[in-house]
Amino acid sequence: MRGSRPKLLTGVSFQQIVAALSAALVISVIVVFVEVSFGAMIFSGAFSGYLAMGIGLCLAGALIHILLAALTSSSRNMIAVVQDAPVAIIAAIFVTISASLAGPDEEVMLATGLALIVLTSALAGFFFWALGRFNLGRLVRFIPYPVVGGFLAGTGYLLTVGGIGVMADAPLGQALLQPDLLLRWLPGFLYGIFLLLILRRFSQFWVMPVLLVGGIVAFFALFLAAGGTLATATADGWLLGPFPRGRLWQPVTWLAVTQADWGLVFANVAKIATALLVGAVALLLNVSGLEVLSDEDVDLNRELRWSGIANLIGAAVAAPVGYTALSISALGYRLAGPSRLIGLFTAAIVGATVVFGASMLSVFPRTIAGGLLVFLGLSFMVEWLVDSRRILPRLDYALIWVILVIIAAFGFLEGVAAGILIAALLFLVNYSRIDVVRHATSRAEYAGAMQRAPLYEQLLERRGRSMVILTLQGYIFF
């Protein structure tokens, strides 16, 4: 029922608890791997010295979103995590920050990057909450479909490039074709393609965790077979670590607030707004998809409000933007049916990783982290550049490509702005071809129902053909 308080353990059997715990174990593997990859994408390049911190922030954000979704969502299957689209935009802005402040201002650079995350999550929180509070969630759906496709295809491009950057630790360019760098990123790129091909063919719940764990096993097996050791893998930069001892998450919000270059942060506010818009669209699409999948009545505005609150809490700990994850929520539903225990158990496992997982994640291969980002990016691009070709009109499909090219060449904000402008122009052109006149007649052919005096009737009969009557349709622009 809409607006009802969630019931966590009413009538839960032992079998349901075991099923929920099993589902949570599978989901936790995926969530941890994905959030580690997001942290590596944001905290790369000049920020790579703070990678452990970045991973901790992403995992802490996932913990907050998973826990609140389990406790407050109108759907028992809802799993929310730090998400890819906002992360891709934040990572792109981090490159700008590092170019401006790297070097002697490294502490200011770190504080500015953290401030960017805090501000983005706080604004996302207020934006999502306001959409839900004033029942405005459905307005976001008026964004043209091909523009949404262009957003997400561009997000896929940024994730793919970010994955290559995580593996090669170098910007996109001809230098990536040098043999030493090629060896760094090409195996992970091929691993991402392999994930994409297998997961498009097989949808069983165990496939993704097996491929992720198997990828790590294969990496170390090949590395050791080539004569390497764990020490050389760490020293040569093949692994994400070493990380400092202790928990991954550290309280850094005060550093962000007090030492950041806020002028540089606010200079990117338009790009932040783009992240909010893309996040709101993705949240609504994911919630709607879960509603259809689980056959539950999901209160869209309630999900927006609580997602907003979760992001406000996330901002307090400098966690990136998060919201509902459709694929992970669907996985939990297929494994254990509708149960809030899945989210609660997953939150407990992710929380334990934040507190105790630094040593384990320090040996996480960059090849796997980057390959996972490549997989996520290619998934977006294949969906919108290949699969959509069969269902979209030519102009709409071409617009997706235009937005993607502009994002790749000039930036996300420019691509979004151009996409909305072009979509509006296409709408005007297409609508101008529609005849607004549905039916035309005259007074001589349409007598009307009103009874008049004979004198007036004779007058209307003589002049009736000079009186045109139009039945209009659609919207008329003046």
- Rounded-to-integer distance, Cα 270 and Cα 440, Å: 49
Q: How high is the pLDDT of residue 141? A: 66
Which residue type sits at 366?
R
CB 54 within 8 A of CB 252: no
- Rounded-to-integer distance, Cα 268 and Cα 43, Å: 18
Q: Is 21 exposed, middle or buried (0-12, 13-18, 19+ CB in 10 A)?
A: middle
CB hemisphere CA count around 41 (13 angstroms): 37
- Rounded-to-integer distance, Cα 290 and Cα 26, Å: 19
> Other C-beta atoms within 10 Å of 99: how many?
11
In terms of DSSP bridges, do strands 80-82 and 437-442 run parallel, antiparallel, or are they unpaired? unpaired
CB 238 within 8 A of CB 366: yes
Q: Phi and psi (nearest 5°) for 411? A: 135, 165
Concatenated DSSP letters of 306-327: HHHHHHHHHHHTTPPPEEE-HH
Tokens at residue 428, please?
């005007």
Q: How high is the pLDDT of residue 1? A: 43
Which residue has tokens 């005007």? 428
* Type and span of the H or E element at 82: strand 80-82
Q: How high is the pLDDT of residue 10? A: 57
Rg (CA), the chain: 27
Nearest to 423 by CA among 444, 403, 437: 403
| Per-residue burial over 266-292, b = 16 or more CB atoms within 10 Å of its CB, e = otherwise | eebeebbebbbbbbbbbbbbbbbebbe
Which residue type sits at 213?
V
Tokens at residue 434, please?
């529609």
CB 132 within 8 A of CB 308: yes
Nearest to 56 by CA among 322, 317, 346, 365: 317
Q: Where are the domains of the chain?
A: 14-397, 437-472
Which residue type sits at 22?
S
Looking at residue 439, the DSSP 8-state letter turns out to be: E
pLDDT by 10s per residue, the chain, length 478: 444 455 555 567 788 888 889 889 989 999 999 999 999 999 988 898 899 999 999 999 999 999 999 999 988 889 999 998 899 999 999 999 998 887 667 889 999 999 999 999 999 999 999 999 998 877 766 778 888 888 889 888 989 998 998 898 777 777 778 888 888 899 999 999 999 999 888 877 788 888 989 999 999 999 999 888 889 998 888 998 888 777 788 888 787 888 899 999 999 999 999 899 889 988 988 888 788 777 777 888 999 999 999 999 999 999 999 999 988 888 888 888 888 999 999 999 999 999 888 888 888 899 999 999 999 999 989 999 999 998 888 888 999 999 999 989 888 778 878 888 988 888 777 777 777 777 777 766 766 667 777 776 777 677 767 778 877 776 654 4
Whole-angstrom CA distances from 95 to 16, 42, 86, 184 are 46, 9, 15, 20
Q: Is 194 exposed, middle or buried (0-12, 13-18, 19+ CB in 10 A)?
A: middle
Helix axes 326-336, 341-356, angle to 10 degrees: 120
Tokens at residue 466, please?
């000079």
- Rounded-to-integer distance, Cα 426 and Cα 180, Å: 47
Q: What is the dihedral of CA 94, 96, 97, 98, to 10 degrees?
A: 90
Q: How high is the pLDDT of residue 3? A: 47
- Rounded-to-integer distance, Cα 278 and Cα 418, Å: 15
Which residue has tokens 């669907």? 330
Chain centre distance of CA 446: 57
247 contacts: CB under 8 Å, gap ≥ 6:
56, 354, 355, 356, 358
- Rounded-to-integer distance, Cα 198 and Cα 200, Å: 5
Q: How high is the pLDDT of residue 91? A: 94
In terms of DSSP bridges, do strands 468-472 and 437-442 run parallel, antiparallel, or are they unpaired? antiparallel
Q: How high is the pLDDT of residue 478? A: 41
Nearest to 328 by CA among 59, 37, 159, 78: 78
Q: How high is the pLDDT of residue 11? A: 61
Which residue has tokens 């805090």? 118
- Rounded-to-integer distance, Cα 257 and Cα 266, Å: 13
